[in-house]
Structure 1
Amino acid sequence: MSFFKKTLPYKDSSDATLVMACLGGDRDAFGEVVSRYQSLLCSLAYSSVGDFKHSEDIAQEAFVEAWRKLDTLSDPEKLKAWLCGILRFKVSRHRRSAARQPLGEHDETTEPASEQASIDDTLIQQQEQTLLWQALEKLPDTYREPLILFYREQRSVEHVANELDLSEDAVKQRLSRGRKILQKAMMDFVENALEKSKPGAAFTLSVLTAISGIGAPKAQAAALGIGASHAGSVFKWASLVTLLASFSGVIGSFFSVRASLDQSRTAKEKRAAIVIVSLFFAVAGVFVAGMFLLEHLAKGAPEMAAAYALSSQLLVLAFGATYLWLLVWMLKRQPKLRAQERARLPEAFTHESDAPGSTRREIKSRWTLGGIALLHFKLGMPEAGDKPALAWIAGGDRAYGLLFAWGGLAVAPVSVGIVSVGFISIGALGFGLIALGTLAVGFIGFGASSIAYKAYGSLSALGWDTAFSGGFAVAREAAIGPLAFARLINNEQAAGLVNLGALEQHHLWVLGVMSVLVIVPAMWHAKMVRKRMGRQDTPVH
């Protein structure tokens, strides 16, 4: 499975990119976060508690807490300030805890220097720590923090100013004042001791070890993020439009079932209509449940994620093949059943609308364009020998439209159906340049699952170029999702290629149009069937 390839170029990535990757479950990205800010957090903690060991313990706790709650960070661009806020809370709690403990239980300075060094080689000798803190403790926090950072971090005023969000002039003033307050005799010793205390790779490793048993922060859509400051907004079904779009298929199916029952003339036909719809729903239910199960298994066993991703795409193909078979079976079964019932119970077909060739069984406009009717909708149950609906705007069990088609099989530039084919297609199976549906196949696919050049799917997305999904996202070039596989994954480069900014801006319009095109024709068709075909309250057995 060499095509499942992950690339993690995080060294020069922005904070926003790192947050997006972390929310996708990438611990390597969090390792870069720790490496980037460990000196800052350890220095601030030391400035508050005056103990190197405790300061690093507190900083480590802050990083672990950040990993747990990363999904609560509303603006990834403010990662540094957010980390500092967590650290200051941890420092405050440490001070309250220390104040409640007897002095002897908290004091670790009685341990021999050799034992202290064996615990962490980066710690300086206990006596040096004590003397160092005695010197620094005399400084107010305003001067102590920039002084500690200055000697631990490249002796750069610019660096200290950036870390503490101060101007360089302010840093220079505080450093100057801090140096004057320190006793001249202690200056050389303080500088050397601080340089030796800087945390290194071992600290980063200890944080990553601490979070190894903690699950990834909730993606919500963050791994699915659109650019970091908007992470989580794409699949956030908060508006009436998205709610309506989510249930548009169910609403449309309800009206289709009602129309099928109104067309039925015998109990056997009614049972057949219910069975057909139930089969479509059952297959969709099994498909969705299977996708959720594979996603759960993949997240629980990351080493098997690629295998589960492949299984998910096989399930997608199986779903598509099953729906195609069900449609063909339905289109063949209905005319055959109607012919059998006409022969078995002729008394059930005495209604005016049931006469062969009755004009009540269809709506066809007299107006034509290029010899093709402007409107043609089939209303009755398909009979043997029936031709498909054909018009500029067509509807029926098989509908072919020069502009728009709606039905079981719909083929038109804009098509809506169980299986739809067109430039813009919407359906349980949508095939088109822009395809929307339970399974969308096309150049741009948007649905529960999609297979496209650019694929967007809530359960899975398989894209030749890019993929974006709340579950499995598999592509050749770029992918964004909690289970993403591509050359570029869950970073700003991937977000740019996936073009999530445009998706966020337009997805409500897409969902709104989809809802209208699915629901309105189904409602109108059901109403006209009931009006024209006549309702049979007591079906003939």
Structure 2
Amino acid sequence: MKTPDVMALIETTSDADLVAACLAGNRSAFEQIVERYQRLLCSLAYSGTGNIAESEDVAQETFLTAWMKLGELREPEKLRPWLCGILRFKISHARRRGGLEPVSGAAELDEAHDISSGDEPVGDAAIAAEEQAILWHALEQLPENYREPLVLYYREHRSVEHVAVELDLTEDTVKQRLSRGRKMLKEQALAFVEGALSRSTPGKVFTAAVIAALPAMAPTTAKAAGTGGVAWAAAKGAGGVAKTTLLAAILASVSGVVSTVMTLRMNLDQARTKRERRAVVRMTVSLFGSFFVFIAGLVAWVFWMGPRPEHHGWAVPLHHVMIVGFAIGWSVLIVRSMREIAELRTAERAREPAAFKDPRDRIGAKAAEYKSERTFLGVPLVHIRFAAAESGQPPVFGWIAGGDRAIGILFAWGGWAVGLFSGGAVSFGLVSFGAVSVGAIGLGAIAFGGLALGSVTMGYHAIASVSASAWSTAQSAMVAISHWVAGGKFAIGPHANDELVGQVLANPDAQRDGLIFCVVMILLTLVPTAVYARAVRRRMKLN
């Protein structure tokens, strides 16, 4: 243990004097260099690697390389930037090589056993693997020029002055970068990062390990051994989702298909000629046929892709392109089919006028369309079209709207629908429901949203029976892909079917509440659609 006088001497002795002493073979002088700069190098190494153990390995290798090459340092007073340059080279080289090589030529660590200090044992001070993963998940979102000052700040006991000196920045610049870095971190993550970084600060044991590992020879200009890096690997596992969550996903997807069936059935009730009925059947076959072929193909693709992590680098992006591409293509197909049927209706009215002799089939008939006289802000409270659309007719529009194409400020349903709450073959809204749905909450066969539930889903949180892709959490009976937590038969992400997945996703209350919410949303959408379908049949179906 060093006395206060010796510690004061360490702080006042210049780098140039320490380097000169090292070149004369004084190992104690190099011990002072390690104690002076270990915190800086370990912090910069951690900012570059994201792993506490690897950062200390790289920092130790940097000091060993510095010991061997001190004779090459032409300007000893620039020791600190010289050490940082060696460290940054090793981090860059490690990333290219894909792994860190063990230190060679090191002396035995027996000397470390004789050193007593106030530091905790290495095992007690180490951060748990799960804690490290969460810590780095928060920090890696920051650009490096914000991450380095933040990491060093908490390892320098919150000293802006020290950070400014170590990074050759002004104090104002450090303060600005710290402020910006904190804003980028969530409040919960910030508190955790501060404590975790503080606990990970290297101390006497680190210093002893470096000094004990120095080769017996004095510094020379010999080349240091190369280092490797860390290779990326996609996690996978055999975990699954909770039964209640899976039931919610299946219910959402099946109900989406039911909604589409009702919409198409209404078209048959509205048809008046054989050509119209054949067109409706042809549209039904093409839409549902392509949809089920896609789902079957996607399932086959999932079972091929899931157990082959070596192909995930290109297979996962292609998987996402397939889903988005089909959703867009299928939506375009249904809109085009609806327009063709509307054009056919207009042509058939001119070709077979006898088929449209019933008063309810006249353009503008009361039975064919309902628009409430009451309005709010100039918009009808209710606007519903029961008859098939004619060519050139605009979508129905109201606070509550229903028809082949519907825009409802509060609620809309139809072939395609847009509204705060919407349901149909293709739907857009805050809460949307259908074969293809897009919304803050999306439910259906293919769903996109902040929260997406269905057969195939993409969003911030995604739950699916076939494929779930999410930025935060993904749950699926088959494939789950996420930037954070993924749980499924084939799970791909930083945390895939591990303990953190269980902690994040295994919440019985959330599953119960989520299932209740899903059922309520589905009923609120399906019931009005079923009532509308019945009204169409009662008004427009000919006996």
- TM-score w.r.t. length of structure 2: 0.53
Change (3 A) 1:255 1:429: closer
**Aligned counterparts of 1:495 and 1:400: Cα–Cα separation in 2:** 41
Residue 483 (structure 2) aligns with: 476
Out of 375, 393, 397, the position equivalent to 1:390 is 397
Residue 288 (structure 2) aligns with: 281
**Aligned counterparts of 2:464 and 2:371: Cα–Cα separation in 1:** 38
**Aligned counterparts of 2:365 and 2:341: Cα–Cα separation in 1:** 18
1:224 aligns with 2:240: yes
1:420 deviates by 1.1
**Aligned counterparts of 1:484 and 1:446: Cα–Cα separation in 2:** 17
**Aligned counterparts of 2:331 and 2:498: Cα–Cα separation in 1:** 37
1:522 deviates by 3.0
Change (3 A) 1:278 1:517: farther
1:371 aligns with 2:378: yes
Q: Deviations over 1:52-83 (max 9, x none)?
A: xxxxxxxxxxxxxxxxxxxxxxxxxxxxxxxx
Matches within 5 A, 1:451-530: 451-497=458-504, 501=508, 503-530=510-537
Q: Taking every aligned residue pair, what percent have the same amino acid on both sides?
A: 34
Q: What amino acid does structure 2 have at the position aligned with 1:418? A: A
| Long gaps (5+) in structure 2 | 1-49, 53-235
1:500 deviates by 5.1
Q: Deviations over 1:250-276 (max 9, x none)?
A: 433343233211111100000111111
Say which is worse superposed, 493-502 or 515-524, in terms of deviation: 493-502
Maintained 8 Å contact 1:398/1:409: yes
Out of 229, 232, 245, the position equivalent to 1:234 is 245
| Long gaps (5+) in structure 1 | 1-6, 10-215, 226-230
Maintained 8 Å contact 2:252/2:453: no
Residue 369 (structure 2) aligns with: 362
1:301 deviates by 4.1
**Aligned counterparts of 1:242 and 1:446: Cα–Cα separation in 2:** 5
- State the secondary structure of the residue aligned to 2:454: strand
Q: What amino acid does structure 1 have at the position aligned with 2:260? A: S
Out of 438, 441, 445, the position equivalent to 2:452 is 445
Residue 401 (structure 1) aligns with: 408
Residue 329 (structure 1) aligns with: 336
Residue 296 (structure 1) aligns with: 303
Matches within 5 A, 1:105-504: 223-225=239-241, 232-235=243-246, 237=247, 245=252, 247-299=254-306, 301-304=308-311, 307-497=314-504, 501=508, 503-504=510-511
Q: What amino acid does structure 2 have at the position aligned with 1:259? A: M
**Aligned counterparts of 1:407 and 1:232: Cα–Cα separation in 2:** 31
- State the secondary structure of the residue aligned to 1:234: helix
Out of 520, 533, 539, the position equivalent to 1:532 is 539
- State the secondary structure of the residue aligned to 2:245: coil
Maintained 8 Å contact 1:445/1:454: yes
Maintained 8 Å contact 1:294/1:308: no
Maintained 8 Å contact 2:260/2:434: no
Q: What amino acid does structure 1 have at the position aligned with 2:402? A: G
Q: Deviations over 1:105-145 (max 9, x none)?
A: xxxxxxxxxxxxxxxxxxxxxxxxxxxxxxxxxxxxxxxxx
Q: What amino acid does structure 1 have at the position aligned with 2:414? A: G
**Aligned counterparts of 1:495 and 1:385: Cα–Cα separation in 2:** 54
Q: What amino acid does structure 2 have at the position aligned with 1:416? A: G
Change (3 A) 1:500 1:317: farther
Maintained 8 Å contact 1:459/1:471: yes
Residue 186 (structure 1) aligns with: none
**Aligned counterparts of 1:266 and 1:434: Cα–Cα separation in 2:** 39
1:8 deviates by 13
Q: What amino acid does structure 2 have at the position aligned with 1:224? A: G
Change (3 A) 1:456 1:291: same
Matches within 5 A, 1:59-98: none
Q: Deviations over 1:161-191 (max 9, x none)?
A: xxxxxxxxxxxxxxxxxxxxxxxxxxxxxxx
1:497 deviates by 4.3
**Aligned counterparts of 1:527 and 1:8: Cα–Cα separation in 2:** 62
- TM-score w.r.t. length of structure 1: 0.53
Maintained 8 Å contact 1:249/1:518: no
Question: What RMSD over aligned residues (CA atoms) do the two structures have, in Å?
Answer: 2.8
Q: Deviations over 1:411-431 (max 9, x none)?
A: 111111111111111111211
1:441 deviates by 1.3
Maintained 8 Å contact 2:245/2:515: no
1:371 deviates by 2.4
Q: Deviations over 1:213-237 (max 9, x none)?
A: xxx99x5xxx124xxxxx55532x4
Q: What amino acid does structure 1 have at the position aligned with 2:320? A: Q
Maintained 8 Å contact 2:257/2:434: no
Residue 102 (structure 1) aligns with: none
Q: What amino acid does structure 2 have at the position aligned with 1:424? A: V
**Aligned counterparts of 1:369 and 1:469: Cα–Cα separation in 2:** 43
Maintained 8 Å contact 2:382/2:398: yes
1:333 deviates by 0.6
**Aligned counterparts of 1:370 and 1:359: Cα–Cα separation in 2:** 24
- State the secondary structure of the residue aligned to 2:457: strand
Change (3 A) 1:248 1:380: same
- State the secondary structure of the residue aligned to 1:322: helix
